[in-house]
Structure 1
Amino acid sequence: MKKYASFLFCYVIIISSFLFPVPEAYGQENFEGTWEGVFMNDFEVLISFDGNNQGNIKMMSGGNIIQNDKLTDIKLTNNEFTFYIPDKQTPFTGNFNDLFTELTGEFIFPDGKKHTIQLKRKMQAANPLAAFKTAKENKFRAEDVRNDLLFLYSSLKEQHPQLYAFTPKDSMELILERLQDELREEVTLEKSYLILSQLTDAVKCSHTGVRLPNSYQDSVNEFGHYFPFRLYFKNGKAFLVSGNFESKQLILPGTEILSINNLAVKEIIEKLFFMIPSEGCNVTTKYHELNKRFNALFYFLDDSEKFIIKYRKGSSVDSITASSCRLKHIQSLYGKIKNDRQVSFHYMDNMNIAVLKIPTFAMPDMDHYFKQLDSIFNDLKKANIQHLILDLRGNKGGHPIFAAQLFSYLTKKDFIYFKRNAEVKDFEPLYNVMQPNKNNFRGTMYVLVNGGCLSTTGHLISLLKFNTNAVFIGEEPGSTFRCNDFSMQFSLPNTGIELNAPRVTFETSVTGFTLCRPFPIDYRVNNSLIKIIDQEDEYVEMASSIINK
């Protein structure tokens, strides 16, 4: 197992973290804020922890952002402070001084080397709410935003390996020209973000997108006015799931929502889709993210303190007025945040069906993951299990070596993971023939997929389709045999909005796949609104039903 360690990403290689959720943190009140320092004598580092139990690390070199990653497993135990950078497979361990003004610790790279850093707490504004209001109302000259559009497009032309794969160059430049022409007056940071996202959306790449500066987004998370209901979107329509009601006037779950503050649902979907990066012709990713993060996305369209919601009531239309709420109140509508990096395995009641859920391929501990897989598949072999449900829903990817190791247990024949890419020599083993594991599964496999399956997970899905007889259940995955990554991040010179631009295309060693051709699903899940409201797992139910037939 140790031989795979040399193939891990080094710390400066960027994997897009636009959509990765962050688990719960502990003791946040002691270290909340921003910490700054210098790493390896060359790189400026900003590490921030906010009041929503989230963290982020940003590293800069010569004004360019070379790392911008979410943090997980944030823990303060006595005086020892730890966190983890999943995109780099890098843990941090350190200690605060008595006044919690300095943090000294070390990063432990995947190769085992330790690198120390000393950070100091960055002074915060005396009145953060007032500072946020000032930043929110600040406007940029139209010329400055136009120049940021040009900088964004120039950066993509320089970095992106497949910039015109889905939108031809002349069409892309027409979009750029239109956006520039529409900039006739000063605009806010949030409006600039909406404009810029229209250009990145045209690339149709799940690793290409823009986001607000972390410090501003943190303020939005804390002080923003959010729509107070959870909605479910499907086929261009929206339905109520749950909400923070203030009065006795209630809307029943399942009710169709027609408009919010006179903005029709169809228009809401169209505008929010621009902010959700996805691959090619795929829309399942956009719906998947919209159903997970609607309130956070809708903020950028409407941050009113009051919302007039029109809904269908029988054959007529009625309305209700609701007050906005903070993001922390929204989170309760979506249930408790689960550990999104924990492999789970169990048998169903009849003991002839096993369920294996792999939530990510950004694993914190490679050896533990490899040992866990070996134990699981050894157990499956000893028990002679004939049916395996492999749950890949919502797995946004990670390092390909974790997917390759899993695949070795799922195939009966030799395979090659990637088509050779001369730009990435560290993946040499993945360009050569690999063998199935001695404990490989030999029964029937049922793979659960949805729009949240991205990047490395898409690669694995294509290998499963090409090399095995797996049965696919669900909806079209977010990506399959090809995607772009090894991303660089740029801070746009005037607005400070951040661009994520991939530099390398990775393609699996398969044939028969065509860009924009829908992935063949054997059994489509309806995603019933009633099942969603009742929190029932329609995917597993369908897999069990198919097996029992």
Structure 2
Amino acid sequence: MWRLFFVIMLFPIGSKAQKFSADEAKEDIDVLYHKMQQVHPGLFRYQSSEAYQETYLEIKTSITDSISEADLFLTISPLIYQIKDLHTGFSHPKKWRKKHPFKLPFIMAEVEGKNLIQYNAAADTTFLRGLELLEIDGKSIESVKDLLKTNIGTDNGNEAAKQLYATKTLYAYYPKFFELKDSVDLLVRNLEKDSVMNYRLATVTTKQMGAVLARRYPEKIRKNLSYTMIDSTLSLAKIDVTSFEFKGSPFDLFQTKFKRKFKQHIKQAQKDSVEHLVLDLRSNGGGYIPNISKVMKYVASEPYKLIDTMAFNRSAYFKIFSPAKGITPLIAPLFFNKKDSIYRYRATGKPAKKKPSKLAYKGKLYVFMDAASYSATTFTISLLDDMDRATFIGTIPGGANWGSHAGSWYVAKLPNSKIRVRIPEYRIVHARANKPNESFFIQPDISVEYTLEDFDKNIDSYERVLIEKLRAD
């Protein structure tokens, strides 16, 4: 806990914000701790109950005076990140977010150990791509990233995911833990001139940022479920899947458009006689689980099933299946028909019965993945790995090979601060019949490193590495 209090003293936040008495803060901590125990299906998968209780007591006893909402937010963070589950999260209350709408006006990339400005969303166009970021409002970028990495609860403490999120999504994570006003002071280095300079930039809202980036970098926007011929001479094409969410309309409840688009691209790949097909799953955070099967149907090489086991805490029964949901609480036991002392669960135990389509792509398959490939994406990667169907290119994904805590979420609002805590309701175990005991994270067959040369020349490192491999073969 000493590290937490050192951080709060070093980077005080929100001193003029609303304050809560010690008793109010402790009540919020009690509610958070007990909700986690009641609902979370994997609370002690990566930690012991004793360690979690110790953290809870240390945090609670440390509060002896009134505390601001921002400081309370940081103080309770260990009760979230110590679970080591990226599906478990928390956010400031709606009222707070309305008063603090600003984001940092840039997206950053770490390249060969340097934190470089990759995309500029600021009004000041002299804030150039390639500048090395050194400080934000007087705080070194490394100290900022260290705090963010500490407060991101990735699956089993996935360090690659912590590093990527603290860098690539710095613009969004920073204002969650540091006070960000309508402008920000930055210290940067121009690498070409080896000179240091200061910038004061206006901060932006999420909407403003999206509009500016779309206007300035249209060629860098990845369109979900798009098809591209990367290199016709190598017969190399790519289907970009940036999300497992894709609705044709608000009434497309089962996301049938996802299947239509993916099937359309598979047909196009067949028409183009594509010999090497890439599924680009980089930075795909997941989405609608049934869409996994809509992908697997057209790329699988053998029959498959998705889920081995799905379970939830028995103590969370009426949180998940509330009486307000009609007959759901009565019929849920018919689906979750097994139980032990902790869980009610469903174990399929049956052979794989989902078969690849007759249209399924049978050529060589490659998967681009990074540490932000998560949830339904990791699920898909895991199934492909189990059947040795693809060559994996990049880094380890963000999610665990065995499965995840996901499906749906219970949102607890803490009584005084109104901080919202997002708690997964289910434990979902991937169906891995061939390799049930493989490594915790899927390992890449071909590793990729983003180089300064790639950055300077605007080269896609993943495509470069794959093209080099195919040409060498």
Query: Is the contact between residue 254 and residue 529 of structure 1 (CA under 8 Å) also seen in structure 2?
Result: no
Gaps of 5+ in 2: 1-13, 313-331, 337-345
1:239 Cα offset (Å): 3.0
Which piece of structure 1 moves more, 354-363 or 426-435? 426-435
Match of 2:319 in 1: none
Query: Is the contact between residue 477 and residue 519 of structure 1 (CA under 8 Å) also seen in structure 2?
Result: yes
Match of 1:521 in 2: 444
Larger helix share, 1 or 2: 2
1:535 Cα offset (Å): 4.2
The answer on 1:345 being equivalent to 2:227 is: yes
Which has the bigger relative contact order, CA under 8 A and spacing at least 6?
2
Residue by residue, what CA displacement relative to the aligned partner does 1:483-516 show, whole Å, maximum 9, x if unpaired? 0012111111110010111121111111546698
SS at match of 2:285: coil
Q: 1:438 to 1:488 in 2, by over 3 A?
A: same
In structure 1, C-alpha distance between the alignment counterparts of 2:470 and 2:365, rounded to whole Å: 10
In structure 2, C-alpha distance between the alignment counterparts of 1:312 and 1:372, rounded to whole Å: 44
Count matched residues: 412
Q: 1:361 to 1:136 in 2, by over 3 A?
A: farther
Aligned pair partner of 1:301 in 178, 187, 190:
178
Match of 2:375 in 1: 455
Aligned pair partner of 2:133 in 254, 257, 267:
257
SS at match of 2:412: strand
- Which residue type is aligned with residue 426 of structure 2? V
Query: Is the contact between residue 341 and residue 360 of structure 1 (CA under 8 Å) also seen in structure 2?
Result: no
Residue by residue, what CA displacement relative to the aligned partner does 1:455-475 show, whole Å, maximum 9, x if unpaired? 111111011111134111111
Match of 2:307 in 1: 418
Match of 2:23 in 1: 143
Residue by residue, what CA displacement relative to the aligned partner does 1:210-268 show, whole Å, maximum 9, x if unpaired? 101234313311xx4x54554334687533345578999x7765454343344233321
1:519 Cα offset (Å): 2.4
Aligned pair partner of 1:499 in 421, 436, 442:
421
In structure 1, C-alpha distance between the alignment counterparts of 2:348 and 2:288, rounded to whole Å: 14
Match of 2:64 in 1: 184
Q: 1:198 to 1:233 in 2, by over 3 A?
A: farther
Match of 2:240 in 1: 357
SS at match of 1:531: helix
Q: Which runs of 4+ in 1 moved over 6 A?
A: 244-248, 312-317, 337-341, 426-431
SS at match of 1:477: coil
1:138 Cα offset (Å): 1.3
Query: Is the contact between residue 140 and residue 186 of structure 1 (CA under 8 Å) also seen in structure 2?
Result: yes
- Which residue type is aligned with residue 268 of structure 1? V
The answer on 1:483 being equivalent to 2:404 is: yes
Which piece of structure 1 moves more, 209-218 or 324-333? 324-333
Match of 1:398 in 2: 287
In structure 1, C-alpha distance between the alignment counterparts of 2:51 and 2:190, rounded to whole Å: 39
SS at match of 1:419: strand
In structure 1, C-alpha distance between the alignment counterparts of 2:143 and 2:242, rounded to whole Å: 32
- Which residue type is aligned with residue 300 of structure 2? T
In structure 2, C-alpha distance between the alignment counterparts of 1:168 and 1:527, rounded to whole Å: 37
TM-score (norm 1): 0.66
In structure 2, C-alpha distance between the alignment counterparts of 1:151 and 1:284, rounded to whole Å: 32
Query: Is the contact between residue 387 and residue 547 of structure 1 (CA under 8 Å) also seen in structure 2?
Result: no
Match of 2:465 in 1: 542
SS at match of 2:405: strand
- Which residue type is aligned with residue 362 of structure 1? E
TM-score (norm 2): 0.76
In structure 1, C-alpha distance between the alignment counterparts of 2:461 and 2:390, rounded to whole Å: 19
Residue by residue, what CA displacement relative to the aligned partner does 1:399-453 show, whole Å, maximum 9, x if unpaired? 2221112112212211222103366839999965211111111111110001221
Larger strand share, 1 or 2: 1
Q: 1:178 to 1:238 in 2, by over 3 A?
A: farther
1:335 Cα offset (Å): 4.6
SS at match of 1:421: strand
In structure 2, C-alpha distance between the alignment counterparts of 1:181 and 1:441, rounded to whole Å: 59
Query: Is the contact between residue 259 and residue 311 of structure 1 (CA under 8 Å) also seen in structure 2?
Result: no
Q: 1:394 to 1:310 in 2, by over 3 A?
A: closer
Query: Is the contact between residue 418 and residue 430 of structure 1 (CA under 8 Å) also seen in structure 2?
Result: no
Query: Is the contact between residue 389 and residue 543 of structure 1 (CA under 8 Å) also seen in structure 2?
Result: no
SS at match of 1:259: strand
Gaps of 5+ in 1: 1-133
- Which residue type is aligned with residue 460 of structure 1? T
Match of 1:279 in 2: 155
In structure 2, C-alpha distance between the alignment counterparts of 1:170 and 1:316, rounded to whole Å: 51
1:206 Cα offset (Å): 1.4
- Which residue type is aligned with residue 403 of structure 2? R
The answer on 1:168 being equivalent to 2:68 is: no
Q: 1:484 to 1:180 in 2, by over 3 A?
A: same
In structure 2, C-alpha distance between the alignment counterparts of 1:384 and 1:367, rounded to whole Å: 26
Query: Is the contact between residue 450 and residue 461 of structure 2 (CA under 8 Å) also seen in structure 1?
Result: yes
Aligned pair partner of 1:320 in 171, 187, 198:
198
Q: 1:183 to 1:330 in 2, by over 3 A?
A: farther
Query: Is the contact between residue 472 and residue 522 of structure 1 (CA under 8 Å) also seen in structure 2?
Result: yes
Aligned pair partner of 1:440 in 360, 364, 378:
360
In structure 2, C-alpha distance between the alignment counterparts of 1:492 and 1:279, rounded to whole Å: 24
Q: 1:341 to 1:251 in 2, by over 3 A?
A: closer
In structure 2, C-alpha distance between the alignment counterparts of 1:237 and 1:145, rounded to whole Å: 39
